[in-house]
Amino acid sequence: MLDLLRFQPTAKKGVQLRGPCPLHESRSDGSRVFSVNLAKNAFQCFKCRVAGNQLDLWARATHRQLYEACVDLCRRLHRDVPWLKAKQKGRD
């Protein structure tokens, strides 16, 4: 997914990547304000103060609600959309 955001890390330490923030569009090539932890599937920007998981990142980057971002991301990655089925009364 980081490829979809065109995230180019400027530093790597184990499972931690750092680089310019794709959300507030850091201009500096050497910027390291955006951090991604690949083991935890989590991100944080120390400048714009946003953090979350992969889906939160995609929702913010594409300016969508979480559900819409999920559907969009699944389609872009050629995955089945995990449609939620309403529980019907009397059925389990």
pLDDT tens track for 11-41: 899 999 998 888 887 777 667 888 999 999 9
> For the residues 53-79, what does the mean pLDDT come to?
91
- Cα separation, 44 vs 69, in Å, equals 18
- Averaged pLDDT of the chain: 84
Can you give the pLDDT at residue 23?
Answer: 86
Lookup: tokens for 6: 């065109």
The pTM is what? 0.75
Examine the pLDDT at 42 and tell me if it is beyond 70. yes
Rg (CA), the chain: 16
